[in-house]
Structure 1
Amino acid sequence: MAAAKIEVEYRPSCSICLEQFKIPRQLPCAHSFCEKCLQSHITTEAKRHMKLRYISCPICRKSASPSIKDRPTSEWASLFPANTVLQSILPAKSKADRLCDACNTEGTTVPAEGFCIVCREAMCKICLKVHRKQKMSKDHTIICVGELTSNPEKVMKIAEGFTCSEHHGEDIEYYCTHHNIPCCANCFLQGHESCSKVIDLKEDLTALLCDIIPDEIIMDMMRIELHLKNFMEINDFFVNSIEIQVNTLIDQIREVRNKINLVLDELEKQVKTEGHRIYKEHVIRKKEENRHCLSLIHAVRSSHHLLEVVHNYGSNLQKCIMAGKMRSQLQSYSKLVREKYEETETIFDLLLPHPILSILSTSFSDLGKVVMLTRSNILPQICLQSPDKDYQVEENDVIDLNIPTVNIPYYSCVTLLSGDRVMLADFNNNQCILLSSSYQFITSHTLVFKPWIVCVLDDQEVAVSLYNLNNIQILSVIGVVITPVRTITTKHNLNGIASARKGDMVANGFCSNGKSQWSLITIRGDVKLTHQYDTPVNMNSYIALNNMKTRVYVSVPSTNSLLSFDMNGRNQFTYSPDNLRGTSGVAVDRYDNIYILGFTSNNIHQLSPWGFLMQVVDTGVPQFPLSICIHKSKDILIITSNSDKRKLHIYQLKKM
């Protein structure tokens, strides 16, 4: 049953300055901020990073970058799109702040007088005049800014076709329910064509609307706001209780002073010092937490108010897109509240070492202590759908291969072929070994030298990098027959290789100048691009790409780290925690979560696509884990190790 209609009396306000919006700018995650506040946040992040490529949303920490990335960071805020919906529902005084978009991009602030429905831009009198004279735009429909800002329904009609945040100017045409995101035609072809649940919004939009109940999302957001308020009340109680008890303690000491002035003068001094330490250490932090809670409350209010406006006045397409964004926001809000809502009882002992305390304890049993009484509050469960990517890695099986070989096997790589077949690179025996889907031996092929990495090119071919040689061996694997096809010669020693788009490969290795590099190589051996970096690469390094083939991940054992690059060679992040040592195999699951093995730390680190730690698996992991591959449809991890040389360790990704 749908929830009752919620009437919200609220004027949208910025979550940074906590004031009414002035020129609201919207990030791709749907959070909006005043242009000046957003620019201040960008400037702060620019001071922390020498080369700022993107910013983090102040609320949900999701990455965002402006449409024109080569502009200076001092202009970034103005490059994010204006939130037309918020602008339309602001009070009359704020509506006058609407500026000409064309002039604003050039650093000039000129009040707008009209809005072009086709171009979706606000314009001043001069820009409007030029716009009407242009042959391409003379027939465009232009309405008065005053009319625009007084009619939310008209605003929603103007904003009818939300455009893609990844591909500027492209209209939204599809909705991937598997990833819960809208897509333009380019997004669909590049990353969602193989998804099983992609809806054509021109044909199946009505069916998608059946699952949208905005009132329920708004109710959950209001519950989030209530929990944040409760948390603030707990902190206020904490602050007041400390202040009252410290002051009471000082009053007690003053009462006794008439009897033992000399002793209690020193005692009072110590109490004041310790009380100030407690206040400075804990209360100031609690007040800062309250300010963050207040920012979250404003963000939650803005979110559910925006959803209500879109649901009341927007098109079906806008309702679908906004509902998806709000569901994502709701997950982040719930996580933040749960992190803040844990309560523990705290006792501060002032520890005043003086014999007089034992004498006075009969009259003042609490002298020397500040006790914080806390009440037990349990955060009620909020009905949120768990994201599909929240999986726990659990050991499932250990397969003893026991394949007869001349030398003790050393499986430097494991990978999956079509039909769930498995291929191993046996470094010590110069062989590629083919296994069935049940891990039974089928056949093997002897190479000219030691294989290091095997990557799948298509249903019939694999590429094998040979240790410390400048070539890649291409093998044909049809049925139970492995046949050498050709050899690709490279200009530098190879290490790890991985499959890229259209049959290309990404390979990393050494440079003659002592640096490391990774290159994009065609199936014919032509080098499309090469990127060098200072971190040295050992010969037991591994490389992997995300599902859309837009990011490269390189393990660097010499620095115990994982490096991430985009396809232009720009570093996205470096992951190097203390509990990850001797980085080896790296793989990516179907949700683009990253799995990196610690060869000497004997663990598995699961990272989000942005490099944030999700979990560390250190139980059931074999000693010296070496190589890893992932069955993306069955959520199975296969790992080889340097300790169990004849075994495969199988892990299952189970939903938490």
Structure 2
Amino acid sequence: MATAKIKTDDGPCCPICLEQFNMPRQLPCAHTFCEKCLQSHITTEAAKHKKLSYFKCPVCRNSASPAIKDRPTSEWTTLFPVNTVLKSMLPAKSKVDRLCDACYTEGTTAQAEGFCVVCKESMCGDCLKVHRKQKISKDHTILSVEELNCNPENVMKLAEEGFTCSEHHGEDIRYYCTNHSVPCCCTCFFDTHKSCSKVIDLKKDLAALLCDSSSEQIIADMKKIELHLKRFLEINEACVNSLEPQVERLTNQIREVRQKINSALDELETLVKIEGNQIYKEEVLRKQDENHQCLSLMHSVRNSHYLLETVNKYGSNLQKFLMAKTMRSQLHFYCTLVGKKYEKTNTLTVTVQFSPMIQSILSISVSDLGKVVTTTRSNTLPLTCSQRPTKDHQIEKVDVIDLKVHSGMTSLFSGVMFLPGDRVMLAEYYNKQCILLSSSYQFITSHTLTGSPSNICVLDDQEVAVSLYNRNKIQILTVLGDIIRPVRMITTKYNCNGIAAAGKGEMVVNGYYGKHKSQWSLINTRGDVKCTHQYDSPDYYWLNFNYIAVNNMKTRVYVSVCNMNSLLCFDMDGKTLFTYHPDNLRGPMGIAVDRYDNIYILGKDSNNLHQLSSDGSVQQVVNTGVPIGPRAICIHQSKDILIITNTSEKKKLHIYQLK
């Protein structure tokens, strides 16, 4: 059995059904879907929630809500605009006839015959007659449906004055806020962005801005991503197709050996056929699922650059600028997703591992002969996009939480971490406790540990791991509702300071090893050590922990070396990739990684926060608004909220928003 060849060259397609668009509807994030596909997605989301006020885009997961929120969810799809640009690019045989907007609002359906460029509404023949008789609309420009379906240039003329605001229905875009990287109408400007320092009047400054917002590189990068995803699909397809002959080759190999070992090898051949075919079937299903997700993203990328190419060719300068800004945001998302999920694909190889017992023919059973073994080889696909997944944030302080815990006692929060459900857990050093806070940072409960916790990490939806300072132990806890319970204790061969989740039931821990050496290890949640790597570190002194973090793909390990004023980056094999050692970083402590793989490291003695890209280059150094002696840090991956603890105000949490 071989997988069907995947078609990837069919023009604009819906990322959900992977077919040509049928009435394409566009969300505020600019991703487009078939009307029925989008409505099915909304209906599924509505079934999960009693009261749905918004839903997530199936591609980028950005929130989307209809302009009229009190309408039932069954009508939400019709409240999103038709992507007339993509619709005009479809082959003639796949065009979907327009419906009259006026008749539709009255609960009836009629085929549209024309489109009013001024009113931006489709109309049937009867409505067109009335429209032309009205004094206020008799001079409006009317385009036929055939002209719209066949000519992208006509489609772009429908909004000659610019795109309309996604927040305020029908209002044209007039400004662009550079502070928040969003276009806005006059209402947006006065309600939200009036106090922003960098708001551009698009009617006055558009020509100059257009020169700095070229679409060519964005289109080129999106095409590279599409080729990258296509290569991913090709390797997966080749992997699946190669497994069947491998299984057959194993069968022939067994038949040759059977000439010397008869009855036992008959059983082994059967086993190989069963297990090999089972492995093949499982891999086919796995690769087909991967291919469908990859193909969905590839179509979405293609739709984006098709849309940008069309706007760039036929649109006004304002449309080109706004669409380029929108697509640059999409490009960040595509690069991030490709970097996380599609940077490599695995090729499965099936072999038979024969036992030395095959030399003997006495008392041989199937288990004595051997077993089927699979090995996975990673195929790294180089992505040469000009913009790697990275984003420099504006870091804005929003609150300081004064926790009312341990009244009259000294506290030190040496670790902090977001839990599922937006709750927060703190590692409290002096009082040897883990403290659970609500999503609004209110005290819920605490659990007393057998030693002082140095750091904490989240393993899954229920389990957390806490490293115990100077005890050579890691405590595994479960958090069920408002109850914290100990599960098991892991003993290590050296004192553990930093700890971070490494995915798939694994974590990395680090600490001082002795003789001017520290080390970090990859261990599973049962305490089995997968690998250990040492690095130089001066003599350890009291409470100067070396923190540790892992990137989103679990391929890089970051370690702060407090006594050397350095941040070290390793791959999972222990190879040093880069060292960050600037003069303005002193006493580095807590480390966190955001969803764009940016690295954040606190300078305890330099009282600052350093933001680095994934390759170690500096994006910014925040010196103001950082608490004195910052110590531990964590980042909410979906809400871009950052929490910092410090040594000078030991009972306070400093809350920041990444913008």
- When normalised by structure 1's length, the TM-score is 0.59
Return the offset for 1:254: 3.2
1:25 is paired with a residue of what secondary structure?
Answer: strand
Cα distance in structure 2, aligned partners of 1:11 and 1:613: 30
- 1:165 corresponds in structure 2 to 166
Structure-2 residue corresponding to 1:299? 300
Query: CA, structure 1 residues 235+110, in 2 after alignment: closer, same or farther (shift >3 Å)?
Result: same
2:243, 2:193 → 1: CA distance?
55
Distance in 2 (CA, whole Å) between partners of 1:118 and 1:36 is 28
Partner of 2:422: none
1:71-106 deviation digits (Å, cap 9, x = unpaired): 222222222101111222222233452222334456
Asked if 1:38 corresponds to 2:4, the answer is no
CA apart distance, 1:148: 2.7
| Residue in 1 that maps onto 2:146 | 146
Assess, with a 3 A threshold, how the Cα gap between structure 1 residues 94 and 414 changes in structure 2: closer, same or farther.
closer
Q: Which residue of 2 aligns with 1:286?
A: 287
> 2:441 is matched with which residue: 555, 570, 585?
555
Task: Assess if the C-alpha contact under 8 Å between 1:12 and 1:90 holds in 2.
Answer: yes
CA distance in 2, matches of 1:240, 1:112: 49
Ranges in structure 2 where 5+ consecutive residues have no aligned partner: 1-7, 409-434, 447-459, 466-478, 483-547, 550-589, 606-620, 632-643
Query: What SS does the corresponding residue of 2:180 show, helix, strand or coil?
Result: coil
Contact between 1:246 and 1:370, CA under 8 Å: does it hold in 2? no
Q: Which residue of 1 aligns with 2:344?
A: 342
Match of 1:379 in 2: 382
Residue number among 355, 358, 373 corresponding to 1:356 in the alignment: 358
- SS, match of residue 13 in structure 1: coil
Q: Percent identity?
A: 53
Matches of 2:436 and 2:261 in 1, distance apart?
Answer: 74
- Distance in 1 (CA, whole Å) between partners of 2:240 and 2:221 is 29
- Secondary structure of 2:33's counterpart equals strand
C-alpha distance in structure 2 between counterparts of 1:425 and 1:48, whole Å: 35
- Relative to 1, partners in 2 of residues 1:369 and 1:190: Cα closer, same or farther, differing over 3 Å? same
Q: Which runs of 5+ in 1 are unaligned?
A: 1-7, 394-412, 416-423, 431-538, 543-552, 561-574, 584-601, 623-630
Contact 1:357 1:367 in 2 (8 A): no
- Distance (whole Å) between structure 2 residues aligned to residue 540 and residue 17 of structure 1: 43
Counterpart CA distance in 2 for 1:607 and 1:68 is 37
Which amino acid is 1:50 matched to? Answer: K
CA distance in 2, matches of 1:373, 1:70: 52
Matches within 5 A, 1:67-82: 67-82=67-82
Q: Structure 1 residues 198, 633: closer, same or farther in 2, change over 3 A?
A: farther
Aligned counterpart for 2:626 among listed residues 608, 629, 636: 636
Q: Which residue of 1 aligns with 2:327?
A: 326
CA distance in 2, matches of 1:249, 1:9: 37
The number of residue pairs the alignment matches comes to 457
Offset of 1:388 from its aligned partner? Answer: 4.2
Partner of 1:159: helix, strand, or coil?
A: coil
Partner of 1:240: 241
The aligned counterpart of 1:272 is: 273
CA contact (8 A) 1:241 1:372 kept: no
Cα deviation per residue 1:3-37 (whole Å; 9 max; x = unaligned)? xxxxx997322222222222111111111111122
The amino acid of 2:115's aligned partner reads F
The TM-score normalised by the length of structure 2 is: 0.59
Three-state SS of the structure 2 residue aligned to 1:66 is coil
Cα 1:162–1:392 change in 2 (3 A) is closer
Cα distance, 1:209 vs. partner?
A: 0.2
Segment of structure 1 superposing worse, 89-98 or 241-250 = 89-98
TM-fit CA distance, 1:142: 2.6
3-state SS of paired residue (2:441): strand
Contact 1:54 1:64 in 2 (8 A): yes
1:254-287 Cα shifts (integer Å, max 9, x gaps): 3444554421232123223322342244331112
CA root-mean-square deviation: 4.7
Task: Name the SS for the 2:385 alignment partner.
Answer: coil
How many Å separate the matches in 1 of 2:136 and 2:40?
37
Separation in 2, partners of 1:274, 1:357:
23
Distance 1:556 1:370, change over 3 A: same
- For residues 607 and 380 of structure 1, the distance between their equivalents in structure 2, rounded to whole angstroms, comes to 21
Cα pair distance change 1:321/1:618, threshold 3 Å: closer
| Correspondence list, 1:508-527, <5 A | none
Do the aligned residues in 1 keep the contact of 2:115 with 2:122 (CA within 8 Å)? yes
Residue 212 in structure 1 maps to residue 209 in structure 2: no
Contact 1:348 1:369 (8 Å CA) reproduced: yes
Aligned mates of 2:463, 2:183 — CA distance in 1: 38
Q: Distance in 1 between matches of 2:355 and 2:310?
A: 63
CA distance in 1, matches of 2:393, 2:346: 27
Equivalent-residue separation in structure 1 for 2:229 and 2:194 (angstroms): 41
Question: Any idea what the Cα deviations from partners look like across 1:570-597, whole Å, max 9, x if unmatched?
Answer: xxxxx987549799xxxxxxxxxxxxxx
Q: Write out per-residue CA displacement over residues 113-143 of structure 1, whole angstroms, 9 at most, x where no aligned residue.
A: 1111222011122333444455654554333
What is the distance in 2 between the residues matched to 1:42 and 1:77? Answer: 8
Counterpart position of 1:156: 156
Q: 1:269 & 1:170 partners in 2: Cα distance? A: 70
Q: Kindly tell me: are residues 250 and 621 of structure 1, through their superposed partners in 2, closer, same or farther at Cα, counting changes over 3 Å?
A: farther
Amino acid at match of 1:342: K
- Alignment map for 1:422-461 (pairs within 5 Å): none
> Given residue 380 of structure 1, which amino acid in structure 2 is its aligned partner?
L
Deviation at 1:69? 2.0
Which residue number in structure 2 is paired with residue 99 of structure 1?
99
Pair 1:54–1:652, CA change in 2 (3 A): closer
d(CA) in 2 for partners of 1:653 and 1:359?
71
The answer as to whether partners of 2:175 and 2:185 remain within 8 angstroms in 1 is yes
**Contact 1:635/1:653 (CA < 8 Å) preserved in 2?**
no
Listed one character per residue, the Cα deviations across residues 401-428 of structure 1 (whole Å, up to 9, x for unaligned) are xxxxxxxxxxxx848xxxxxxxx89999
Q: Which amino acid aligns with 2:197?
A: S
Q: Does the 8 Å contact 1:267/1:352 carry over to 2?
A: no
CA distance in structure 2 between the partners assigned to 1:643 and 1:154 by the alignment: 60
Which residue matches 2:84? Answer: 84
Residues 425-481 of structure 1 deviation map (CA, whole Å, 9 limit, x = unaligned): 999999xxxxxxxxxxxxxxxxxxxxxxxxxxxxxxxxxxxxxxxxxxxxxxxxxxx
Q: Does the Cα contact within 8 Å between 2:99 and 2:111 map onto a contact in 1?
A: yes
Q: For residue 53 of structure 2, what is the aligned residue in structure 1?
A: 53
Q: Are the structure 2 counterparts of residues 386 and 230 from structure 1 closer, same or farther at C-alpha, using a change threshold of 3 Å? A: closer
Alignment match, 2:472? none
